[in-house]
Structure 1
Amino acid sequence: MHDQQARIKSHIESHQHMAGALLPLLHAIQDDLGYIPEECYGNIAKALNLSVAEIHGVVTFYHHFRIHPPGKHVLQVCRAESCQAMGSQALETHVKSSLGIDFHQTTSDGAITLEPVYCLGNCACSPAIMLDDQVYGRVSSKQVDRLVAEAKEAV
C-alpha cells in the first residue's frame, strides 16, 4: 500500500503544475494502478486546489475511470450505434449471462472485469469488443466465449 501511495504522489507531483491537470493526472494514476483509489482524492484535491467532491464528480462522470481494482483481464463490449445495429445487445446479454456479472463488475475469480465502451473505432467490423488491449471485430458469442476461456487459462 505504501508503494501505491508513493506512486500516486509521484503522479501528482509531475502533473500538479500543468494547466488542466486533472484529467491527465487521473489517466496517469489509472494507467499505473489500473484504477483510481478514492483514498487519493484528498491529495489530488489539495494539489490542484479543487474540492474532493470535484474529483469524485469527474471520476464518476467518465465511464473510463474505475474506483476498484480491475480483474486480470478487462473485456469491453462496444455499445455504439453501429455495433448495436449489428447485434451487440445480444452479445452483451450473452457475455453478462456467461460471466455472471454486469458492467463495471469483476468475476468472482478475479479474472475478468466487464465494461461498456462507446466506440472502439472498428465500426466497419461490428460488433466489436476489446479484451485487454486487443480489438476484435465481427465477434460472435462463441468467439467471445473462446477468448474469455483463453484469457482465464492465462491467469
Structure 2
Amino acid sequence: MDSCHMDADIASRTEAIVGRLKPLEGPLLPILHDIQAEFGYVPQASLPVIAHGLNLSRAEVHGVVSFYHDYRETPAGRHVIKLCRAEACQSMGGDALAERLLGLLGLDWHETSADGAVTIEPVYCLGLCACAPAAMVDGEVIGRLDADAVQDLAKAVRA
C-alpha cells in the first residue's frame, strides 16, 4: 500500500477512535492509548485528525505524545525489552546490567535497532522486587537477571 493510501487508512481508523472516545472527560490520553493499541504506535498521520477532533493544535497533541514515554512515534521492534530501573532492581546490580545490555544491543533507552529487531524501554517496577533485577521481554517477566542472562537475552533478540 502506498503512503497516501496508508495515511488515509490511518486517518479513517483514527477518526473512528476519536469519534468513539471524544465524549469522555479528558479524552486525549484514552484516544492515544487506543490508537497505540490499534497501530502499535501513534502515527504522524493520526495527529492532525486528533487535533481537529478535539479542537487542539497539532503541537499540543505532539507535546503529549512526546511527554509520555509509553507512547511511541515509530513502530516498536519485533522484540520489546522493558528493564526495571526501580530501587530494588538498582540495589541488586540493575544499573550495571542495564549498561551491559544497552552496550550489547548498541542502543540507548527508548531506541529501536535499525533492523527493527528490538526496542528497549526503562520501566519503574514490574512487581518482582523479591526477584530483582527484573525485566519483561515480549510481555514475559524474567527475574534474577545476571550477566549470563543479559548476554543470552541480547543474543536471543538479535537472532
Q: Give TM-score scaled by structure 1 length.
A: 0.89
Q: Which has the larger radius of gyration?
A: 2
Whether the aligned pair in 1 keeps the contact of 2:105 and 2:154 (CA below 8 Å) is: no
The CA deviation at 1:6 is 3.0
Residue in 2 aligned with 1:33?
Answer: 39
Q: Which runs of 5+ in 1 are unaligned?
A: none
- Does residue 143 (structure 1) correspond to residue 155 (structure 2)? The answer is no
Aligned-pair Cα RMSD in Å: 1.6
After superposition, give the CA deviation of every residue in 1:33-58 in whole Å (9 maximum; x if it has no partner).
11111232111111112222221121
- Does residue 121 (structure 1) correspond to residue 127 (structure 2)? The answer is yes
CA distance in 2, matches of 1:121, 1:23: 24
Residue in 2 aligned with 1:42?
Answer: 48
**What is the number of equivalent residue pairs in this alignment?**
153
Q: 2:113 aligns with which of 107, 115, 120?
A: 107
The CA deviation at 1:146 is 2.1
The CA deviation at 1:152 is 4.1
Q: 1:89 aligns with which of 87, 95, 102?
A: 95
What SS is found at the alignment partner of 1:90? helix
> What percent identity do the matched residue pairs reach?
47
What SS is found at the alignment partner of 2:82? strand
What SS is found at the alignment partner of 1:13? helix
Q: 1:70 aligns with which of 71, 76, 85?
A: 76
After superposition, give the CA deviation of every residue in 1:92-136 in whole Å (9 maximum; x if it has no partner).
111111111111111222110111112212222111111111111
What SS is found at the alignment partner of 2:45? helix
After superposition, give the CA deviation of every residue in 1:41-94 in whole Å (9 maximum; x if it has no partner).
111111112222221121111111111111111111111111111111111111
Residue in 2 aligned with 1:98?
Answer: 104
Moved more, 124-133 or 46-55: 46-55
